[in-house]
Amino acid sequence: MPLTLDQLNSAPADAALPLLDGLYEHSPWIAEAALAQRPFVSLAQLKFILAQVVSSAPLEAQHGLIRAHPELAGKAMVSQSLTAESTHEQSKAGLTNCSAEEFAQLQQLNADYKAKFGWPFVLAVRGPRGLGLSRAEIIATFERRLRGHPDFELQECLRNIHRIAEIRLNDKFGVSPDLGDRVWDWQEHLSQYSEAPGQLTVTYLTDAHRACAAFIREQMQVCGFDRVAVDAVGNVVGRYDGMTAGQTLLTGSHYDTVRNGGKYDGRLGIFVPMACVHALHRAGQRLPFAIEVVAFAEEEGQRFKATFLGSGALTGDFNPAWLDQRDADGVSMRNAMQQAGLCETNETNTVLKRIASLQRDPAQYLGFVEVHIEQGPVLNALNLPLGIVTSINASARYQGEVVGTACHAGTTPMNQRADAACAVAEFMLACEQRARQDGDSVATVGQLLVPNGSVNVVPGRCQFSLDLRAPSNAQRDALQVDLLRALADICAQRKVSHHLTESMRASAAPSAPEWQSRWENAVASLGLPIHRMPSGAGHDAMKLHDIMPQAMLFVRGQNAGISHNPLESTTSDDMQLAVAAFGHLLDQLAQVSSVGSNSFGQVD
């Protein structure tokens, strides 16, 4: 019989501890400390509390926990002396069926890892979906993490230990994140469409992109949307009608990717609401408002420089000059649109008229919400599955150049140089220091070039980029004023000249307070702490912000939250929580509309 939260909450202390036996390898102190915080309102809360116990334990105890783990495919597995839980996990990942070569490779990795870090390599081998990683994935992860820094690797081992405990806990409670699995599987399926072999690249209106649209459209139909269509810019739009013809909740995210990107960026925000609509449809339930889920065709600006084209079309922001932009193969956007069957003609007036008709009337909408993978390390480091976005950061970008004097590297004394690259280097450190002062501002020099530089020449020119972001326009502007002044001072002191051109500027998109608080209520209802954070990345929500209230929910990424990278990952358990939070938001809106409903409730 699976364990229930009621049983766990009501058991006397000495009877409760054995109920959580085996969650953390040979370390009952963790469950013991967590049980002191009973009652738990949800499994998600229990998992968080367990992780908190470990985070607040002394370093020695954390090391002890890691050392209590067996090596992967190690001697303990061979001699069958693993715990029952570890045996199950290692066999599920196929480690008991290693070829002689794989086995030898793992032994070498075990030895190298132990020599470098002093503890065994810990990996949640059942993976983000719980089905087991492949041996190739395990070996690749092992090799990658072997190159890591010990401080990072210690935390990464602990995070994997929490993931192992999460899966063990699900098993104990007989819980499986079915809706999260569904969302995970959709994304896995969608990731097979790519224009580059061996990596995930889906750019605007390529064959892979159109295959993605077709799959999303088909799945929306399966989910029970009343109307599903591809619009004039390639957005896939699914509409689930309300009880009456009233207002509509708008939601969604993008399905295009950067080159060699991750499987969840954008797509998660399409599939989470789809899972909710599917659940409503199966329950034969209608809400007092309609739900419109839009899979935006273009957000990343990869094939054409037309970032946010998909969501911009809904706000009436489409630049007609884009139609004549050509991709790397010389294909114009207007021809790409015609080839994709979005318009029978490529004639300007007709195309623009069709696109203009996509503009939404804000009076018809309640607001816009977007679920997105965090794309950063914050939630992962806090052991929190969900975060609430307070604002999409304001940004400004520049291209700059410092000009000094190119001269002989051997004959020019250090005090008689005008080194352009040194000036930029000093400026970079000033950026780092100034942005840090704010706590939540960021400043990045991502491109650095010494044109025609040579090993024996003092750099006479140095070109660079500058990217500034902050949660409010005022904070960004203050950062900008200080950094531009710092650049001028550094250049004056070093007797070099400089120029800087602004290439992009975007206003902050603060979350609408009532919508942000709906996400907060939803997260609190799951028994999880509320963590508010700005979004450092731009999202479709910042376009919709121009015409209606918006707020976003972030979902934790694995692998320290890495994104725009094939290592981007999140678990089906976290996706389940995102679906539950979205369902709770729908329930809140339904209650405001005076008709109660409670079809999602808690995951557990």
Identify the helix (H) or strand (E) that includes residue 16.
helix 13-19
Least distance between Zn ion and beta carbon 390 (Å)? 18
Can you read off the two tokens belonging to residue 493?
Answer: 């002191």
Residue 151 CB contacts under 8 Å (≥ 6 apart), including other chains: none
Of 312 and 527, which CB lies nearer to Zn ion in the complex structure? 312
Q: Which residues bind Zn ion (CB under 5 A)?
A: 265-266
Least distance between Zn ion and beta carbon 563 (Å)? 8
**What DSSP string runs through 100-147?**
HHHHHHHHHHHHHHHHHHSS-----TTTTTSS---HHHHHHHHHHHHT
Three-state SS at 553: strand
CA atoms of 581 and 604, how far apart (whole Å): 13
Of 74 and 266, which CB lies nearer to Zn ion in the complex structure? 266
CA atoms of 420 and 149, how far apart (whole Å): 33
Least distance between Zn ion and beta carbon 372 (Å)? 6
CA atoms of 29 and 36, how far apart (whole Å): 11
Least distance between Zn ion and beta carbon 256 (Å)? 9
Least distance between Zn ion and beta carbon 159 (Å)? 23
Identify the helix (H) or strand (E) that includes residue 398.
strand 394-403
Of 301 and 453, which CB lies nearer to Zn ion in the complex structure? 301
Our measurement of the distance from residue 453's CA atom to the centroid of its chain's CA atoms, rounded to an integer in Å, reads 38
| Nearest-CB residue for Zn ion | 266
CA atoms of 160 and 566, how far apart (whole Å): 19
For the chain, how many helices (H) and strands (E)?
22, 16
Least distance between Zn ion and beta carbon 363 (Å)? 28
Closest Cα to residue 239, out of 291, 313, 277, 279? Answer: 291
Of 252 and 266, which CB lies nearer to Zn ion in the complex structure? 266
Identify the helix (H) or strand (E) that includes residue 469.
strand 461-470
Of 157 and 542, which CB lies nearer to Zn ion in the complex structure? 542
Of 89 and 265, which CB lies nearer to Zn ion in the complex structure? 265
Least distance between Zn ion and beta carbon 217 (Å)? 20
Identify the helix (H) or strand (E) that includes residue 84.
helix 84-92
Closest Cα to residue 209, out of 266, 250, 277, 252? Answer: 266
CB 93 within 8 A of CB 126: yes
Least distance between Zn ion and beta carbon 392 (Å)? 11
Of 25 and 256, which CB lies nearer to Zn ion in the complex structure? 256
Looking at residue 38, the DSSP 8-state letter turns out to be P
CA atoms of 227 and 246, how far apart (whole Å): 16
**What DSSP string runs through 236-251?**
EEEEE--SSS--EEEE
Least distance between Zn ion and beta carbon 466 (Å)? 23
CA distances from 598 to 248, 285, 457, 528, 576 (A): 19, 10, 71, 19, 16
Least distance between Zn ion and beta carbon 374 (Å)? 11
Of 372 and 494, which CB lies nearer to Zn ion in the complex structure? 372
Our measurement of the distance from residue 156's CA atom to the centroid of its chain's CA atoms, rounded to an integer in Å, reads 17
Looking at residue 96, the DSSP 8-state letter turns out to be G
Of 155 and 380, which CB lies nearer to Zn ion in the complex structure? 380
Of 266 and 534, which CB lies nearer to Zn ion in the complex structure? 266
Least distance between Zn ion and beta carbon 205 (Å)? 18
Sign of CA dihedral 56, 60, 61, 64: positive
CA atoms of 299 and 255, how far apart (whole Å): 8
CB 291 within 8 A of CB 593: no
Of 266 and 273, which CB lies nearer to Zn ion in the complex structure? 266
Of 127 and 557, which CB lies nearer to Zn ion in the complex structure? 557
Of 183 and 280, which CB lies nearer to Zn ion in the complex structure? 183
Least distance between Zn ion and beta carbon 441 (Å)? 21
Least distance between Zn ion and beta carbon 322 (Å)? 20
Of 22 and 252, which CB lies nearer to Zn ion in the complex structure? 252
Least distance between Zn ion and beta carbon 301 (Å)? 11
Q: What is the CA radius of gyration of the chain?
A: 27
